Amino acid sequence: MIESNSESLIEKDSFSVNLKRRQFLQFAGVSALAVGTIGCKKEKTDEIVAPYVNSDDTIDFKDDVGLLNYIYALEQLEAAFYTKAAESLPATFTPTQALFFNDIKLHEIAHREFFKRILSTAAIGTLTFDFSGVNFADAVSVFTTAKTFEDLGVAAYNDAIVRCKNDYNLILLSQVATVEARHAAYVRSQVDAIGFSDLNELAALGADATNALDVNLAAGKVLEQALKYIKTKLNIINL
């Protein structure tokens, strides 16, 4: 634990120079509103607020807590899917496919547990899912579903990176985004040998083939698709 604490401190220090400029830009702000509130807010002293306890699966997009809960919900979805698939992999899976699929499952579990830990009492609960549309005995069905989730995940992360307000969250989201992209490329290649970065096909998720920019989708659009698989009722506000 000592090592981990000092590590994050070092990381924070190293960003202080960049941070200063960025903090200032937030202060000076493109928005007049931001400037307006700073001038008033800083005259108050900080109040101690009791930790927020999320007891009704609320995803409130007003701040980064909501954004991370949204990401946490998507990670729960992915982890649940791979865990279910791993219970009995399709018979046609090669040893390498099984190995990589197991890796992905473990990454998604790591992501899920990480966000759960970060969010602490503010986290939504454990969600339940409906995978009745997936034929878990069929490799194509499994990989096609994995492809849907991974590309959707990349689209969600790329939007969340731009939306998040805290620089430390930006770093964390960017660290996971590329792992999801690696997953996406791999599972795509299992249904189309040259499809790892087919941005024309991914245009529906916001990809820009002309400039080779990856998928990018607002949370509302992502949730439209993800909620088809989530049975738990989520209280989504300020989207």
Among the listed residues 83, 55, 81, the one whose alpha carbon sits nearest the alpha carbon of residue 69: 55
Answer yes or no whether residue 100 interacts with other proteins by CB under 8 A.
yes
CA distance 23 to 230: 37
Q: Which residue in 5, 55, 88, 132 binds other proteins (CB under 8 A)? A: 5
What is the C-alpha end-to-end distance of the chain, expressed in Å?
A: 36
By CB under 8 A, the residues from 8 to 27 that bind other proteins are: 8, 10-11, 14-15, 18-27
Binding mask 140-179 for other proteins (x = CB under 8 A): --------------x--xx--xx----xx-xxx-xxxxxx
Determine contact, residues 61/220, Cβ cutoff 8 Å: no
Q: If you count them, how many residues does the chain have? A: 239
Instruction: Tell me the window of 51-59, 140-148, 206-214, 217-225 that interacts with other proteins (CB under 8 A).
Output: 206-214
- Between 60 and 99, how does the x/- string for binding to other proteins read (CB under 8 A)? ------------------------------------x--x
Q: Virtual CA dihedral for 220, 186, 174, 10, nearest 10 degrees?
A: 150
Closer to other proteins by CB, 59 or 161: give it.
161
The least distance separating other proteins from the CB of residue 145, rounded to whole angstroms, comes to 18
If one asks whether residue 191 binds other proteins (CB under 8 A), the answer comes out as no
How many chain residues interact with other proteins (CB under 8 A)?
84
Distance CA 11, CA 22 (A): 16
- The answer to the question of residue 33 lying near other proteins (CB under 8 A) is yes
Beta carbons of 209 and 201 less than 8 angstroms apart:
no
C-alpha–C-alpha distance, residues 155 and 184, integer Å: 11
When the beta carbons of 49 and 212 are compared against other proteins, the nearer one is 212
Kindly state whether residue 120 participates in binding other proteins, applying the rule CB under 8 A: no
CA distance 203 to 218: 14
Cα-only R_g, the chain: 20
Binds other proteins (CB under 8 A): choice among 50, 55, 88, 117: 117
